[in-house]
Amino acid sequence: MRLRLFAVAILVAGSLCAADPQLLSLAPPDTQAMAGVNVQQVSLSPIGQYLLAQNPQQTAAGLEKLMAATGFDPRHDLQELLIAANVPPGNKTGLILVRGTFDVPRIIEAALAAGAKVESYKGVQVIQQKGMKEQAAAFPDSTTAIIGDTPSVEAAIDRKSAPTAISSALAVAVNMASTTEDAWFVTMVPPSKFQPRPAGAGAQEPSPFAILDTVMQANGGVKLGANVVVTVNAICKSAQDAATLAETVKSLAGMLGSVGTSGDAGQAAVGEMLKNLSITSSGATATLSLSMPEQQIEQRMQMKGDPNSATGWDVRSGRYRGVSPPPKQAPQR
Residues of the domain holding 54: 2-164
Q: State how far the Cα of 83 lies from the Cα of 94, in Å rounded to an integer.
A: 7
- Give the CB-side neighbour count of residue 257, counting CA atoms within 13 A: 12
Report yes or no on 75 lying in a domain. yes
Q: Any idea which of 94-98, 185-189, 269-273 has the lowest mean pLDDT?
A: 269-273
Spell out the residues 6+ positions from residue 113 whose beta carbon is closer than 8 angstroms to its own. 69
Which residues on neighbouring strands pair with residue 314, listed in sequence order? 319
Report yes or no on 6 lying in a domain. yes
**Structural domains counted in the chain:** 1
How many residues comprise the chain? 333
What are the tens digits of pLDDT across the range 132-184? 567 899 999 999 999 999 999 999 999 999 988 999 999 999 999 999 999 99
Q: State how far the Cα of 281 lies from the Cα of 247, in Å rounded to an integer.
A: 9
Per-residue confidence (pLDDT) for residue 137, from 0 to 100:
94
Which residues on neighbouring strands pair with residue 184, listed in sequence order? 36, 221
Report yes or no on 52 lying in a domain. yes
Report yes or no on 112 lying in a domain. yes
Q: Residue 299: pLDDT above 50?
A: yes
Per-residue confidence (pLDDT) for residue 208, from 0 to 100:
52
Q: Whole-model pTM?
A: 0.78
Which residues on neighbouring strands pair with residue 212, listed in sequence order? none
Report yes or no on 79 lying in a domain. yes
Phi, psi of 123 (to 5 degrees): 85, 0
Per-residue confidence (pLDDT) for residue 63, from 0 to 100:
75
- Whether residue 34 contacts residue 185, with contact meaning beta carbons closer than 8 Å, is answered with yes
Report yes or no on 139 lying in a domain. yes
Report yes or no on 227 lying in a domain. no
Report yes or no on 149 lying in a domain. yes
Which sign, positive or negative, has the C-alpha torsion 48, 54, 58, 62?
A: positive
Decide: helix, strand or coil at residue 323: coil
What are the tens digits of pLDDT across the range 30-56? 999 999 999 988 988 888 888 877 766
H helix count then E strand count, the chain: 12, 14
Per-residue confidence (pLDDT) for residue 56, from 0 to 100:
65
- Vertex 48: Cα angle to 271 and 111 (nearest 5): 120
Mean pLDDT of the chain: 80
The amino acid at residue 223 is K
Per-residue confidence (pLDDT) for residue 13, from 0 to 100:
39
Average of pLDDT values for 45-73?
Answer: 78
Q: State how far the Cα of 229 lies from the Cα of 273, in Å rounded to an integer.
A: 12
Higher pLDDT, 63 or 149: 149
Phi, psi of 165 (to 5 degrees): -130, 140
